[in-house]
Amino acid sequence: MDGMFEVGRMCLKTAGREAGKYCVVIKNMEDNFVMVTGPKSATQVKRRRCNTEHLEPLTEKIKISADASDSEVLAAYEKEGIYAKLDIGKPDQSKIKAMKEEKEKRKASSKPRPEKKERKGGGKPKGHEPAKAKAAEKKPAEKKAPKKKASAKPKAKKK
C-alpha cells in the first residue's frame, strides 16, 4: 500500500459517479483499498470503500482518528480551514437536518422484510440439496422398446 493514503489525507476522486469531488481517507483496508467519506453533506461523497487508483492524494491532511464519524470529519474541516483551502461550501445545519429527515422518511416508507418461516424438518430449504441427492431422487424414465433400424441394403426376395 502506498504511504500517501494515510488516515486524514484529503483526496480528489478521479473515477466513478463522484469523480471531481473531495474526500478524506478514514481507514486503510486490504490491498489497495481505503475507506473514504466526504461527508455527503459537505462534498456529496458517501462513506464507502474506494480503490486507491481512483484517488489523487492532495497535500492537505486533517487530524482525525481512524473510523471517524462524519461529524468529527466536519469539525476537523472547520478547525483546519479546509472549507476555504479547497473552496468547499460549508453545509448549513438546515441542509444536514433535511438530509436526515429524508433518510428517515425513506426508511419509514420502505416495506419491512417478511420473516422467514420455520420448517418442520429443519436443515436447508428445498432446492439447496447437492446435485448427487437430486439425481438420486429422480425416478428413472421408462424405457421404450428400441426401434428397428432400416438397413441400407434391400434384402433379396426369395423365389
Which has more pLDDT, 141 or 6? 6
Q: Is residue 118 part of a domain?
A: no
The residue range of the domain holding 70 is 9-101
Q: Are 87 and 72 in contact (CB under 8 A)?
A: no
* Number of independent structural domains in the chain: 1
Q: Residue 46's closest CA among 68, 23, 72?
A: 23
Is pLDDT above 50 for 1? Answer: no
Q: What CATH number is associated with residue 48? A: 2.30.30.30
Q: Is residue 143 part of a domain?
A: no
Q: CA-CA distance, 3 to 156, in Å (whole number)?
A: 92
Query: Which pLDDT belongs to residue 136?
Result: 57
Q: Is residue 127 part of a domain?
A: no
Is pLDDT above 90 for 24? Answer: yes
Q: Is residue 27 part of a domain?
A: yes
Q: Is residue 142 part of a domain?
A: no
Confidence tier at 26 by pLDDT (50, 70, 90): very high
Q: Is residue 41 part of a domain?
A: yes
Confidence tier at 11 by pLDDT (50, 70, 90): very high
Tens of pLDDT, residues 51-90: 999 999 999 999 999 999 988 999 999 998 888 888 888 8
Q: Is residue 113 part of a domain?
A: no
Is pLDDT above 50 for 42? Answer: yes
Query: Which pLDDT belongs to residue 34?
Result: 96
Alpha-carbon distances of 144 from 16, 41, 56, 75, 149, rounded to whole Å: 61, 72, 71, 81, 15
Q: Is residue 15 part of a domain?
A: yes
pTM: 0.60
Task: Cell numbers for 107, please give them.
Answer: 426508511
Tens of pLDDT, residues 106-159: 888 887 777 777 766 655 656 666 555 555 566 566 666 666 666 666 666 666
